[in-house]
């Protein structure tokens, strides 16, 4: 049980506890969540211009005349962006459209010098996909959820406005202007913050796997808007609010959970929900109103006259007429193994449980550690390896507040520790100590550290018997209790043996020995 909870803890996206509206009231209400995700495509250049598309270049240094909207400049569609869009759409089981079109969406903002964004409105690159993902909540049974993907479209990013509080001026950086985005519009098929966070986590794994997006939310490479509403069972969906630009997977769960509760509180007091845009304040842990959407904004959509319709080759046979077109079939042929496949193969091949497979696949480095050990040491039980990785290595990283990616333990060191553990040369406590020692100095040799630090496990009967004798002497009370039927009293004595042996005694042998000695 302890292990299960620990395991689930490593997977939870954080659930903020709040003042609850009465359970009876909430019982009749359902919450609905629909996500819109913007993902920046990992390409060298922008969607319609040749300028640099990397994060962190000096301000306004990656801006072509087209990006700055100089009159007379024209868009040229970047083939790589279309390929990545198609690749992503294929991985998400979409119907790819043979013809898609570009439109202008008008709005007025300082970081959009031309006054419109080129996007796809009338005919998107792809529609009707779906994403199935595992939802793991501590203390609850893991389940799979499916969300329909209504639309996947190509569009331009805007520039960035920087507000200088001291000078009371707004400055504009156009490096991001025209960067390639895909927008993914999901159907309102989710119910909770945790489901939404789990969807985004799975999407991140897929996009990284496809190398279509860096998914660095802290750099704005992946941005999530969450639409949230509540309604009574059996009634139509309620009015929704939209939480814009949530900055991390954990915040997605927290923001939506908060927003559902806020709406429940309002209706329980007889209030009504207004259609508004809100923001998540991660420091204050609440959503705050940004602007209301009561007045429908008119974007004056119109066809982009400077770009012809985008045509793709949907045929599966070689076709000389379509030679220059991007072939959907050849892109789908090259799709890598996706997270869901990796997980089910792990479950099949190593008899892992679902939750374990999810944790391994969530942390690329952890999966690499696991596969490496299994490849080199096929005789070590997979369960021993996953338990050590998840309950000990991952926990060490969490406690030390380091990313697993920056853990200094090499594959070879890990293999040597596990070999010693599996052979019984050391016990789990020593294994944990070794993680710490070797993370500090990975140039050391596992065997030598075990010798130098006296970490060998004590298993020989004689020594253990002697330790048990000492422990029994020190715990008269516990011995009495044990003998009068309170079996749990043995733990106090076991703990004493462990202490006396400096955590080196083999606990199985200790328990057996104590049980034997206390029989009479």
Of residues 282 through 341, those in contact with ligand ADP by CB under 6 A are none
Residue of minimal Cβ distance to ligand ADP? 34
Is the CB of 135 or the CB of 224 nearer to ligand ADP?
224
The least CB distance from residue 35 to ligand ADP, in Å, is 6
Distances (CA, A) of 389 to 188, 392, 434: 37, 6, 13
Pattern 159-198, binding to ligand ADP, x per CB under 6 A?
Answer: --------------------------xxxx----------
Residue 227 interacts with ligand ADP (CB under 6 A): yes or no: yes
Q: Which residues contact 504 (CB under 8 A, 6 or more apart)?
A: 427, 429, 430, 454, 455, 456, 457, 458
Q: Which stretch in 5-13, 31-39, 204-212, 477-485 sits in contact with ligand ADP by CB under 6 A?
A: 31-39
**Total residues binding ligand ADP (CB under 6 A):** 14
Q: Are 503 and 429 in contact (CB under 8 A)?
A: yes
Distances (CA, A) of 182 to 52, 124, 502: 18, 10, 57
User: Out of 35, 94, 407, 449, which residue is the one contacting ligand ADP (CB under 6 A)?
Assistant: 35
Terminal CA-CA length for the chain: 33
Is the Cα dihedral 121, 124, 129, 135 positive or negative? negative
Rounded CA gap, 499 and 493, in Å? 10
Is the CB of 194 or the CB of 363 nearer to ligand ADP?
194
The least CB distance from residue 202 to ligand ADP, in Å, is 16
Tokens of 50: 């040749």
Rounded CA gap, 235 and 419, in Å? 60
Rounded CA gap, 206 and 184, in Å? 13
**At 349, which helix (H) or strand (E)?**
helix 339-350
The least CB distance from residue 173 to ligand ADP, in Å, is 27
Is the CB of 299 or the CB of 411 nearer to ligand ADP?
299
Pattern 469-488, binding to ligand ADP, x per CB under 6 A?
Answer: --------------------
The least CB distance from residue 229 to ligand ADP, in Å, is 3
The least CB distance from residue 186 to ligand ADP, in Å, is 5
The least CB distance from residue 280 to ligand ADP, in Å, is 16
């991390």: which residue's tokens?
Answer: 248
Is the CB of 36 or the CB of 465 nearer to ligand ADP?
36
The least CB distance from residue 188 to ligand ADP, in Å, is 4
User: Out of 11, 34, 363, 479, which residue is the one contacting ligand ADP (CB under 6 A)?
Assistant: 34
User: Out of 229, 248, 419, 457, which residue is the one contacting ligand ADP (CB under 6 A)?
Assistant: 229
Residue 200 interacts with ligand ADP (CB under 6 A): yes or no: no
Is the CB of 296 or the CB of 321 nearer to ligand ADP?
296
Pattern 429-468, binding to ligand ADP, x per CB under 6 A?
Answer: ----------------------------------------
Q: Are 276 and 292 in contact (CB under 8 A)?
A: yes
Is the CB of 90 or the CB of 263 nearer to ligand ADP?
263
Burial of 448 (0-12, 13-18, 19+ CB in 10 A): exposed
Is the CB of 31 or the CB of 40 nearer to ligand ADP?
31
Of residues 231 through 260, those in contact with ligand ADP by CB under 6 A are 237, 240
Residue 343 interacts with ligand ADP (CB under 6 A): yes or no: no
Is the CB of 255 or the CB of 435 nearer to ligand ADP?
255
Rounded CA gap, 366 and 205, in Å? 14
**At 132, which helix (H) or strand (E)?**
strand 126-135
- Tell me the three state secondary structure of residue 322: helix
Tokens of 314: 């949907």
DSSP 83-119: HHHHHHHHHTTPEEPSEE--EEEE---TT-TTSEEEE
Distances (CA, A) of 104 to 26, 66, 116: 43, 15, 6
The least CB distance from residue 402 to ligand ADP, in Å, is 36
List contacts with ligand ADP (CB under 6 A): 32-36, 185-188, 227-229, 237, 240
């Amino acid at each position: 049980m302890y292990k299960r909870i620990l395991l689930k803890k490593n997977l939870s996206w954080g659930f903020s506890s709040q003042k609850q509206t009465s359970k009876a009231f909430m019982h009749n209400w359902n919450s609905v969540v629909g996500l819109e995700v913007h993902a920046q495509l990992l390409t060298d250049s922008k969607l319609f211009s040749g300028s640099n598309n990397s994060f962190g270049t000096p301000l306004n240094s990656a801006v072509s005349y087209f990006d700055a909207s100089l009159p007379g400049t024209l868009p040229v569609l970047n083939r790589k962006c279309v390929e990545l869009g198609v690749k992503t759409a294929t991985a998400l089981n979409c119907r790819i459209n043979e013809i898609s079109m570009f439109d202008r969406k008008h709005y007025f903002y300082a970081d959009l010098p031309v006054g419109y964004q080129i996007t796809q409105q009338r005919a998107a690159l792809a529609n009707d996909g779906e994403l199935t993902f595992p939802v793991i909540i501590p203390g609850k049974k893991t389940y799979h959820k499916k969300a329909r993907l209504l639309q996947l479209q190509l569009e331009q990013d805007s520039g960035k406005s920087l507000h200088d509080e001291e000078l009371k001026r707004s400055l504009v950086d156009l490096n991001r202007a025209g960067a390639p985005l895909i927008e993914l519009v999901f159907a309102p098929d989710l119910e909770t913050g945790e489901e939404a966070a789990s969807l985004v986590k799975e999407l991140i794994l897929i996009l990284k796997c496809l190398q279509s997006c860096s998914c660095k939310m802290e750099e704005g490479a992946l941005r999530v808007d969450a639409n949230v509403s509540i309604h009574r069972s059996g009634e139509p969906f309620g009015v929704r609010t939209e939480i814009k630009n949530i900055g991390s997977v954990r915040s997605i769960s927290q923001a939506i959970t908060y927003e559902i509760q806020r709406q429940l509180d309002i209706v329980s007091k007889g209030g009504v929900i207004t259609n508004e845009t809100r923001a998540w304040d991660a420091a204050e842990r609440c959503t705050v109103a940004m602007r209301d959407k009561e007045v429908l904004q008119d974007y004056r959509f119109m066809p982009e006259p400077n770009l012809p319709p985008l045509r793709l080759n949907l045929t599966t046979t070689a076709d000389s007429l379509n030679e220059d077109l991007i072939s959907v079939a050849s892109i789908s042929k090259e799709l890598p193994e996706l997270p869901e496949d990796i997980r089910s193969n792990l479950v099949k091949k190593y008899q892992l449980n679902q939750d374990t497979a999810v944790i391994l696949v969530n942390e690329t480095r952890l999966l690499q550690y696991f596969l490496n050990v299994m490849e080199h040491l096929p005789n070590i039980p997979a369960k021993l390896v996953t338990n050590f990785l998840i309950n000990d290595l991952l926990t060490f990283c969490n406690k030390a507040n380091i990313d697993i990616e920056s853990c200094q333990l090499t594959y070879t060191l890990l293999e040597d520790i596990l070999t010693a553990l599996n052979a019984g040369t050391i016990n789990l406590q020593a294994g944990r100590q070794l993680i710490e020692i070797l993370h500090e100095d990975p140039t050391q040799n596992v065997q030598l550290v075990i010798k130098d630090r006296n970490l060998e496990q004590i298993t020989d009967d004689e020594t253990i018997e002697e330790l048990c004798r000492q422990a029994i002497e020190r715990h008269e009370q516990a011995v009495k209790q044990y003998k009068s039927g309170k079996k749990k009293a043995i733990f106090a004595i076991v703990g004493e043996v462990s202490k006396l042996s400096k955590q080196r005694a083999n606990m199985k042998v200790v328990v057996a020995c104590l049980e034997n000695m206390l029989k009479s």
